[in-house]
């Protein structure tokens, strides 16, 4: 018996929603068709965040609790009214990605299982010059929501002093995004360079709250992730639903709303009503394009003072002025004398918290999970087993890493016991969650 489809009339077109009754948010009892109807209810706002931009498809074919995968290439089987544009990635490869301009196209990609929307910061008619400057405020585990909001306000103030208007939204996850429209005059490396300068300036003004440090062992407070402005990076756009149990939404705000906002208030159930009552707080964003010249001048001042480029993500080519891509704790001078140890793996595993690398830090591994939520649940179980250890841990001691798998990411959690007295440090135990992203893969001999 063929699977049921529901046909929707959207923007003068027929959009087929396959398996409309498939549960996408189990705790809410919401289905795929509920997700499609959410996006149609906020389409004016959601389209403003993606209009004319190529988009990487982040597909949750089994709902928010299932695994996801990124699909950069547009499906070969698609209606003739689905627009695409060819992108070239830092690797040199190319792909045709989908460009959304109307509500029918929006509903069509949501039907593919795209819970959140992940557009590039460029328009399809000029893929080399971003018009969107993105500030991603990423808190270290344990940082309170109020501190994140303080850093958001500090970011707004710095942007304004350097001639840009910031537009805030909740990320729908743990942080806050602040966007600024910019003139289409600068390349990706120049936009990222401006983002590094901004991050360092916010850190200078709020040293106890914010950080521009790339390496997790050096971070504290809220990290301003400048690398989200590198080419081929995407961020969940305005009105994107996130794959959380309560269906949180990355929701645009006014600055007056920021100090008292609570992220759990903005969900797939509440945001349509808010949008109907109050409209889109970012309605004027496309008329607010500004110049990056003041931030680039600040970057030049930093360079003249001896600041090197900040580290790039590992998949990018090494840059001329970039510092060595090695964690500070692993830097060595003089003869290459081995330091530290290779921490033992968990029972039944062949690799431990650092793989084959040595470290001087007392690291243990807690979980390897398909999703961050499962990994954090494992961390909570571990905390319950070691109540005397937990008070010694600082936020930066708990490292939650997104790892690359075959076609998706998985989550690893490690704990640094450096602040725990040696005689109280727990040994490496079996993993609380033991997920193997490579299970079933047949490797060539």
Q: What is the predicted pLDDT for the residue at 337?
A: 46
- Whole-model pTM: value is 0.77
- Compute the Cα dihedral for 330, 332, 335, 339 and give only its sign: negative
pLDDT digits (tens, 9 = 90+) for 64-120: 998 889 998 999 999 999 999 999 887 778 899 999 999 999 999 999 999 999 999
Q: Are 282 and 46 in contact (CB under 8 A)?
A: no
Q: How confident is the model at residue 406 (pLDDT cuts 50, 70, 90)?
A: low
- What band does 350 get if pLDDT is binned at 50, 70 and 90? confident
Mean pLDDT, rounded, for 280-295: 93
- pLDDT band of 407, cuts 50, 70, 90: low
Alpha helices in 94-166 (DSSP H): 103-111, 145-161
Note whether 352 and 365 are within 8 A (CB).
Answer: yes
**Where are the alpha helices (H) located in 9-97, listed in sequence order?**
32-41, 43-50
Beta-bridge partners for 290: 182
**Cα 132 from Cα 191, distance rounded (Å):** 9
Task: Tell me if residue 291 falls in helix, strand or coil.
Answer: coil
pLDDT at 222 over 80: yes
126 DSSP β-pair partners: 123
Q: State residue 440's pLDDT score.
A: 63
Whether 394 has a pLDDT exceeding 90, the answer reads: no
- pLDDT in the model for residue 219: 86
Residue 216, phi then psi, degrees to nearest 5:
-60, -30
Spatial CA neighbour of 266 closest among 240, 284, 285: 240
In the predicted structure, residue 129 carries a pLDDT above the cut 70: yes
CA dist 261 and 135 (Å) reads: 19
Q: Is the pLDDT of residue 409 over 60?
A: yes
Asked if residue 288 lies in contact with residue 165, where contact means CB atoms within 8 angstroms, the answer is: yes
What mean pLDDT, rounded, does the chain reach?
A: 90
pLDDT tens, residue by residue, 144-199: 999 999 999 999 999 999 999 999 999 998 899 999 999 999 999 999 999 999 99
CB 413 within 8 A of CB 346: no
- For residue 123 the two structure tokens come to 């328009």
**d(Cα 256, Cα 260) in Å, to the nearest integer?**
8
Strand, helix or coil at 2?
coil
CA 214 to chain centre: 15
- CB of 103 within 8 A of CB of 40? yes
pLDDT at 441: 57
Rounded CA-CA distance 353/364 in Å is 6
Task: Answer whether residue 334 shows pLDDT above 50.
Answer: no
Arithmetic mean of pLDDT, 337-344: 70
**Given this model, what pLDDT does residue 444 score?**
47
Indicate the pLDDT class of residue 340, thresholds 50, 70 and 90. Answer: confident
């Amino acid at each position: 018996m063929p699977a049921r489809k529901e046909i929707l009339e959207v923007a003068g077109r027929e959009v087929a929603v396959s398996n409309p009754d498939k549960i996408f948010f189990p705790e809410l009892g919401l289905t795929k068709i509920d997700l499609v109807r959410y996006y149609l209810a906020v389409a004016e706002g959601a389209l403003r965040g993606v209009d004319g931009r190529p988009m990487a498809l982040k597909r949750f074919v089994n709902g928010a609790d299932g695994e996801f995968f990124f699909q950069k290439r547009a499906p070969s089987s698609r209606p003739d009214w689905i627009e695409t544009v060819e992108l070239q990635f830092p690797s040199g490869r190319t792909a045709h990605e989908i460009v959304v301009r109307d509500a029918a196209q929006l509903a069509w990609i949501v039907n593919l299982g795209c819970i959140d929307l992940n557009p590039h910061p460029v328009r399809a008619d000029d893929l080399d010059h971003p018009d969107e400057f993105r500030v991603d405020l990423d808190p270290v585990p344990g940082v309170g929501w109020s501190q994140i909001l303080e850093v958001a306000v500090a970011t707004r103030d710095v942007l304004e002093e350097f001639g840009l208007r910031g537009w805030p939204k909740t990320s729908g996850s743990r942080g806050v995004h602040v966007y600024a429209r910019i003139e289409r005059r600068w390349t990706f490396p120049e936009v990222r360079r401006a983002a590094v300068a901004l991050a360092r300036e916010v850190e200078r003004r709020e040293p106890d709250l914010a950080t521009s440090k790339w390496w997790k062992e050096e971070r504290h407070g809220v990290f301003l992730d400048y690398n989200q402005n590198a080419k081929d990076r995407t961020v969940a756009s305005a009105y994107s639903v996130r794959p959380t149990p309560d269906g949180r939404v990355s929701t645009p705000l006014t600055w007056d709303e920021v100090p008292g906002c609570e992220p759990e208030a903005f969900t797939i159930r509440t945001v349509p009503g808010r949008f109907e009552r109050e409209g889109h707080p970012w309605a004027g964003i496309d008329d607010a394009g500004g110049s990056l010249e003041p931030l680039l001048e600040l970057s030049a001042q930093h360079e003249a003072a001896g600041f090197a480029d900040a580290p790039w993500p590992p998949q990018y080519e090494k840059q001329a002025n970039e510092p060595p891509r090695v964690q500070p704790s692993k830097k060595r001078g003089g003869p290459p004398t081995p330091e530290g140890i290779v921490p033992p793996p968990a029972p039944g595993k062949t690799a431990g918290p650092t793989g084959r690398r040595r470290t001087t830090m007392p690291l243990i591994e807690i979980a390897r999970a398909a999703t961050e939520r499962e990994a954090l649940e494992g961390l909570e179980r571990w905390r319950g087993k070691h109540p005397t250890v937990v008070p010694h841990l600082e936020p930066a001691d708990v490292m939650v890493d997104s790892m690359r798998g075959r076609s998706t990411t998985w989550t690893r959690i490690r704990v640094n016991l450096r602040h725990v007295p040696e005689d109280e440090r727990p040994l490496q135990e079996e993993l609380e969650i033991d997920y193997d992203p490579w299970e079933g893969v047949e490797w060539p001999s």
